[in-house]
Amino acid sequence: MSTVEDWAKKIVSNELGKKVEVHDDGSESGMYDLRIGSKNSPDYAIECVGAVYPVAIETWNIGPAKGPIKINSSSDWNVSIRKSANIKALNLNIANVIRQCEDLGLSEFTPVDWQLKRFNAELFNALDGLGITSFCMFREVGSSNAYLSMDGGGGVVNQSSGDLVDWVSKFLSADDKADVIKKLRISSAKEKHVFIPIVLGGVPWSVASYFFSEMLAPKILPKLPEPITGVWITLNNKGVRYLDGQWHIFSC
Cβ proximity of 188 and 239 under 8 Å: no
Provide the percentage of residues in the chain whose pLDDT is more than 90: 61
For residue 155, give the DSSP letter.
S
Question: pLDDT of 120-160, one tens digit each?
Answer: 999 999 999 999 999 999 999 888 999 988 765 455 556 67
Q: 193 and 230 in contact (C-beta within 8 Å)?
A: yes
Q: Give me the helix-helix angle, 87-103 and 121-129, nearest 10°.
A: 150
Domain boundaries along the sequence of the chain: 3-53+158-251, 54-150
Q: Measuring CA to CA, which residue among 172, 170, 153 is closest to residue 210? A: 153
Residue 37 has pLDDT above 70, yes or no: yes
What is the rounded CA–CA span in Å between residue 227 and residue 229? 6
Q: What is the pLDDT of residues 5-17, one digit of tens each?
A: 888 999 999 999 9
Distance CA 185, CA 222 (A): 19
